[in-house]
Structure formats: structure tokens, C-alpha cells
């Protein structure tokens, strides 16, 4: 009758004598996935010449992607948005040729960028309907946009080596101001939308989450500090160069590849092992951010490592690989590129003039200071508006997309500088409105936003960027005379800022006082180059930034 008590006693004795279980190593890697990524391709099928080398090109990207896929057939190939817009190719094919390239290269998901809306919802819908991979954005409300309803998903789940991985997309909240989504597309605050997507994924048993972000680096840092569940951010929109090469010839380094951030702290910390040659280990409660600059000039590659809980534990083999002349072109993609190029080769290669000097339209320049390319574009708009008695022109830096190197100028080069197909609008503005527009142009200077103003010959502006926003314009004159607040001026602007793009609401309010010229900004520049034959860089000195 005492046997049950005896058995319990023996069991308790055995429990006391059992060896203690070793503590769980929370950094022990139980899962690893290869992420290969691009962003801000902007229709750049061809390599871009920089100095003595060329960078990018879809056929070179394909070579590297095939190499990494041979090493890991289950790699995750993704894009963080802005496949659209930037070259004559996009203007002709409206993204459908780019879709063919992405499909052949095996992309598994893509975030929706702002430039995906440049031609309106219908063009994006045409792309999304035919894409074999999901287009993602968790902070776009498309319920009232019939063209896109049901075509863009907040997130998707992919299976990699038997493990579920969540991919969330996010789009810049500045979308309505910098593109053309139309009145039916609503943009929600991204962090709350990301949190909701994370919650949905966790309910489905997903504990490894990658954010495909077209928010820009500044917002990406805010996201990882506030949304603890995000493991990896693949970023885009800000064209940020992550690399260990501090002397990279193709761009200015702004961050290490990758960079990790404490999720609850304010200061960012570079990874402890520069170069990412061996396995990097992140401290507990950290996320990593990576990005691939722009135009396919580099290709991002990282092996993200996770512990048994699905928490990010580190990485290895991390690099932003320069896609330079040492990378051979993949024959299949090169042949496809040639097939798409052939119908427009004659037009795009037509020589229309010669550049005596470099016409600087570099992104880092046009969004912060006067540029020779911006000056020339503004001058071409005044030339086009002579019959309408246009007195001067304003160009937003964000609308200037490329430089022109010394030598022959082709039609394609013009479209690469001005790819958006914006018309020229002639608008009557009071001097007070002109001054308000110039003041607004300095409001995004720190962030390098697209509203920085470039002006035609005869206009002189001086800014003091140490002053608060709204009080930075020190002086403004036309032909040596200060602008008169009550006088009316005839001004040429592009149709994008005329309707309030880049925050130029003062122009949008000038209804009933404007004329659509019917001439594109690219056509204005084409005419100027053809008329001059040889183009010199305008002398700087129109806009002074202190």
C-alpha cells in the first residue's frame, strides 16, 4: 500500500540527481537566409559612365544574381521600389520592359515606390497585374482607387529552407506631394501601418520579418527603433550609399553595409566588424538596415542569421558589390535588352549637340545648391516662353535626374536628365507669391528634398540655411531689382510643381492665372541644345547658400 509513495520518492530523488540542462545559447544560429537586393533602379538598363568606368546595367546585375543563386538556390531577391522612371526606356515602355527583366532575374517581391505612380494608377496597375511577384505597401489605402484595388498587398509570406519569412512593404508618406497617385490613393502614417502588418504576421506564426522600405534612411532608422519585430530593413528612396569603401568612385558613402541600430536607443552604431568579411554578431535587441544606392550601381548581398526564437543573431558575407566593368553581362539579359532597345535606337542615339563642359545634374548637388544643369534647364524654359512674355523660370532640383558629360549630346541624354514628361506651365504670380515660392524652396534643404530652386539668368537668390525654416531667404532680385510684393510676374515652371508637387502649394493656388504651354520640359532643353550646337556650362552665381 506504500508503493505509490515509494515510487514518488524515487522519482524525486532521480530529479535531484539529474544533470542540469545547459543554458540556451540565444546567439546560436539555427537559420540563415541570403538576401540579395536592389532599389531605385529607375529604368537604368544600361551601365552609367562615371569617370573611367561604368556602373550598373541589368545584364551585369543578372550575372551576379545567378552567381549567388548558384551558391544558394533559395536566396531572397527583392527590390525596395522606384523601378519606374528615369530613362527614355521607361518613357517608351512604361515599366513593362523592366517587369520582363525583373521576372527573368527571379525577383520574389517589390516595394511600391513613389515613382511607380508618376504616370498615374492605371500604369502601375498594368504592371502589378502582370507581375509574377507581389507588389507591397502596408501604408497605402487603395480601397477608393478602382484601378489598384486588390493589386497591392501590405505583406507577403515566403518560405525559405522550410522557414516562413514575412516581407512587408512601405511607401514614403510624401507620395501625394512628389508623384501623381491621384485623389483616390490615401497614404497612411507608416509606422502604425507596419505595426499592424507585423501583428498579422505574428498571428500566422511568422517570427522573421524583413521590411522592404521606400521610406528613406531617416524614416528607416525611426522604424527599427520603434517596431521591435523588424529584423532587417532593405531600404530605398533616399539613394543612400551603404559601403565600406570610403573612396567609392560612384557615390558618397553615408553608412556601413550593414548598419545596426538599437531598437530603443537614439544613436546608431556601425557594425563591429568593418567590411562584413566574416560573421557579424548584433547585440541583443538590434535590427540591421541595408540599401543598394541607385541605378543598379551596386548590388546588396547579405546572409542574415537567426536564433531558435527567430531573432536576428548576426550576419555574414555582407557587401555592397560594385557592378562595374569587371562584371560580365549575362547573355540572356543582354539579348533581351538589345531586343527592347532596337526599336528606339535610332531616336535615342541621335546627336543633337555638343557639351563643352560637364553639365552637373548630380542628385547630391541639385537638391542642395545651384547647378549648371538646373540653370540650363531654367534658361531653356524662358526661351520657350518668349512669346508668352515669360520673365524667368523656376526648376525644382528633384526634377533634374542626371548630368551630361563633355562631348556629344544625344536625345537619350536629354531624356535621362528630364524623364518625367512634365509640361511647361506659364503662371502669373505676385511678387509676394514668388518670394513665398523661393522661401519654400529652402524648406527641405537639410534632408536634400526635391524642392530646392534653380532659376534662369537674371534671378539672384541668397539663403541663410542657419536660420529657421520659413525665414531663410535673405534676398531675391530680378535683373538687379528686388522683387516687388505687389507686382505681377510671368513665370515658367514645370507642370509638376505647378500643381503643388514638392510642396509648392503657392503655385497650385494660382488657378485661373496659368496657361499650359503644351511643350514638355525635355523638348525645351532639346530645342536649346539644337539651337546652340555647342553648349557651355552657365556661370554659377544665381543662387548663393550660406
Domain with residue 388: its CATH number is: 3.90.780.10
Integer angstrom CA distances of residue 355 from 4, 220, 259, 414? 99, 39, 40, 12
User: Which residue's entry shows cell 515602355?
Assistant: 93
351: how many CB neighbours lie within 10 A of its CB?
12
Co-location of 300 and 379 in the same domain: no
Number of separate domains in the chain: 2
Q: Is 207 left (phi over 0), alpha (psi -120 to 50) or beta?
A: alpha
Co-location of 364 and 322 in the same domain: no
What's the full length of the chain, in residues?
A: 546
pLDDT band for 253, please (50, 70, 90 cuts).
very high
Co-location of 182 and 209 in the same domain: yes
CA angle (10, 21, 228) in 5-degree steps:
135
The predicted structure's pLDDT at residue 23:
53
Co-location of 288 and 391 in the same domain: no
Q: For the chain, give the mean pLDDT.
A: 91
Residue 237 is assigned to a structural domain of this protein:
yes
Residue 407 is assigned to a structural domain of this protein:
yes
What is the SS3 assignment for 175? Answer: helix
The predicted structure's pLDDT at residue 18:
43
Co-location of 179 and 326 in the same domain: yes
d(CA 79, CA 38): 5
- Report, as an integer, the average pLDDT of 434-445: 98
Share of the chain above pLDDT 90, in %: 79
pLDDT band for 268, please (50, 70, 90 cuts).
very low
The predicted structure's pLDDT at residue 6:
39
pLDDT at 296 over 80: yes
Last residue of a domain, one of 337, 368, 402: 337
Residue 24 is assigned to a structural domain of this protein:
no
Last residue of a domain, one of 316, 337, 358: 337
Residue 17 is assigned to a structural domain of this protein:
no
The predicted structure's pLDDT at residue 270:
46
pLDDT at 277 over 50: no
Residue 8 is assigned to a structural domain of this protein:
no
Co-location of 327 and 359 in the same domain: no
The predicted structure's pLDDT at residue 14:
43
Co-location of 356 and 470 in the same domain: yes
The strand ranges marked E within 248-399 are: 253-255, 259-262, 268-270, 280-281, 286-291, 298-306, 312-322, 351-355, 392-396
Provide the domain limits for residue 438.
349-545
Integer angstrom CA distances of residue 62 from 177, 212, 291, 452? 34, 20, 18, 36
The predicted structure's pLDDT at residue 440:
98
d(CA 489, CA 385): 13
Last residue of a domain, one of 317, 337, 357: 337
- Report, as an integer, the average pLDDT of 492-518: 90
pLDDT at 10 over 60: no
Residue 16 is assigned to a structural domain of this protein:
no
pLDDT band for 24, please (50, 70, 90 cuts).
low
The predicted structure's pLDDT at residue 421:
79
- Report, as an integer, the average pLDDT of 439-457: 97
pLDDT at 338 over 70: yes
Co-location of 332 and 353 in the same domain: no
Co-location of 303 and 365 in the same domain: no
The predicted structure's pLDDT at residue 179:
86
Residue 43 is assigned to a structural domain of this protein:
yes
d(CA 139, CA 172): 9
pLDDT at 264 over 60: no
Higher pLDDT, 97 or 91: 97
- Report, as an integer, the average pLDDT of 58-64: 99
What is the domain-level CATH number for residue 135? 3.60.21.10
pLDDT at 15 over 50: no
Residues 6+ apart with CB under 8 A from 203: none
Co-location of 320 and 425 in the same domain: no
Co-location of 330 and 357 in the same domain: no
pLDDT band for 27, please (50, 70, 90 cuts).
low
Residue 13 is assigned to a structural domain of this protein:
no
Higher pLDDT, 337 or 262: 337
Higher pLDDT, 259 or 10: 259
Co-location of 332 and 445 in the same domain: no
CB 296 within 8 A of CB 61: yes
pLDDT at 444 over 70: yes
Amino acid at each position: 500500500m506504500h508503493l505509490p509513495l515509494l515510487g514518488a520518492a524515487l522519482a524525486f530523488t532521480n530529479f535531484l540527481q539529474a544533470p542540469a540542462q545547459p543554458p540556451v545559447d540565444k546567439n546560436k544560429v539555427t537559420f540563415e537566409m541570403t538576401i540579395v537586393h536592389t532599389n531605385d533602379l529607375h529604368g537604368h538598363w544600361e551601365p552609367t559612365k562615371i569617370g573611367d568606368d561604368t556602373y550598373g546595367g541589368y545584364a551585369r546585375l543578372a550575372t551576379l544574381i545567378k552567381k549567388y543563386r548558384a551558391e544558394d538556390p533559395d536566396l531572397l531577391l527583392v527590390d525596395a521600389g522606384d523601378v519606374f522612371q528615369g530613362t527614355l526606356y521607361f518613357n517608351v515602355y512604361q515599366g513593362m520592359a523592366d517587369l520582363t527583366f525583373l521576372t527573368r532575374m527571379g525577383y520574389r517581391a517589390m516595394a511600391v515606390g513613389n515613382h511607380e505612380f508618376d504616370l498615374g494608377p492605371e500604369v502601375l496597375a498594368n504592371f502589378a497585374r502582370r507581375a509574377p511577384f507581389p507588389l507591397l505597401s502596408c501604408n497605402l489605402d487603395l480601397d477608393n482607387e478602382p484601378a489598384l484595388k486588390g493589386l497591392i498587398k501590405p505583406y507577403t509570406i515566403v518560405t525559405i529552407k522550410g522557414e516562413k519569412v514575412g516581407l512587408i512593404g512601405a511607401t514614403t508618406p510624401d507620395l501625394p506631394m512628389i508623384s501623381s497617385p491621384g485623389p483616390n490613393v490615401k497614404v497612411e502614417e507608416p509606422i502604425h501601418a507596419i505595426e499592424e502588418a507585423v501583428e498579422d504576421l505574428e498571428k500566422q506564426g511568422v517570427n522573421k520579418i524583413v521590411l522592404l522600405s521606400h521610406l528613406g534612411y531617416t524614416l528607416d532608422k525611426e522604424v527599427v527603433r520603434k517596431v521591435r519585430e523588424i529584423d532587417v530593413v532593405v531600404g530605398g528612396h533616399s539613394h543612400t550609399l551603404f559601403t565600406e569603401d570610403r573612396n567609392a568612385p560612384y557615390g558618397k558613402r553615408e553608412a556601413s553595409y550593414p548598419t545596426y541600430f538599437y531598437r530603443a536607443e537614439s544613436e546608431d552604431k556601425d557594425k563591429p566588424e568593418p567590411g562584413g568579411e566574416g560573421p557579424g554578431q548584433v547585440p541583443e535587441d538590434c535590427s540591421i538596415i541595408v540599401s543598394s544606392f541607385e541605378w543598379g550601381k551596386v548590388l546588396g548581398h547579405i546572409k542574415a542569421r537567426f536564433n531558435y526564437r527567430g531573432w536576428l543573431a548576426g550576419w555574414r558575407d555582407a557587401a555592397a558589390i560594385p557592378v562595374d566593368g569587371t562584371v560580365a553581362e549575362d547573355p540572356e539579359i543582354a539579348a533581351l535588352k538589345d531586343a527592347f532597345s532596337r526599336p528606339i535606337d535610332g531616336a535615342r542615339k541621335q546627336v543633337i549637340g555638343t557639351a563643352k563642359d560637364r553639365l552637373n545634374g548630380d542628385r547630391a548637388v541639385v537638391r542642395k545648391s545651384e547647378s549648371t544643369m538646373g540653370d540650363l534647364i531654367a534658361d531653356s524654359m524662358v526661351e520657350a516662353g518668349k512669346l508668352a512674355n515669360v520673365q524667368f523660370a523656376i526648376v525644382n532640383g528633384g526634377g533634374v535626374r542626371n548630368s551630361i558629360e563633355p562631348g556629344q549630346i544625344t536625345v537619350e541624354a536629354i531624356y535621362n536628365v528630364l524623364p518625367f514628361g512634365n509640361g511647361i506651365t506659364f503662371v502669373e504670380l505676385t511678387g509676394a507669391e514668388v518670394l513665398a515660392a523661393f522661401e519654400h524652396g529652402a524648406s527641405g534643404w537639410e534632408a536634400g528634398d526635391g524642392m530646392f530652386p534653380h532659376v534662369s539668368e537674371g534671378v539672384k537668390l541668397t539663403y541663410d540655411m542657419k536660420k529657421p525654416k520659413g525665414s531663410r531667404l535673405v534676398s531675391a532680385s530680378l535683373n538687379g531689382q528686388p522683387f516687388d510684393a505687389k507686382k505681377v510676374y510671368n513665370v515658367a515652371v514645370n507642370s509638376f510643381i505647378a500643381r503643388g508637387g514638392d510642396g509648392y502649394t503657392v503655385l497650385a493656388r494660382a488657378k485661373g492665372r496659368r496657361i499650359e504651354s503644351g511643350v514638355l520640359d525635355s523638348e525645351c532643353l532639346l530645342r536649346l541644345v539644337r539651337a546652340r550646337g555647342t553648349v557651355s556650362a552657365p556661370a554659377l552665381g544665381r543662387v548663393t547658400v550660406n
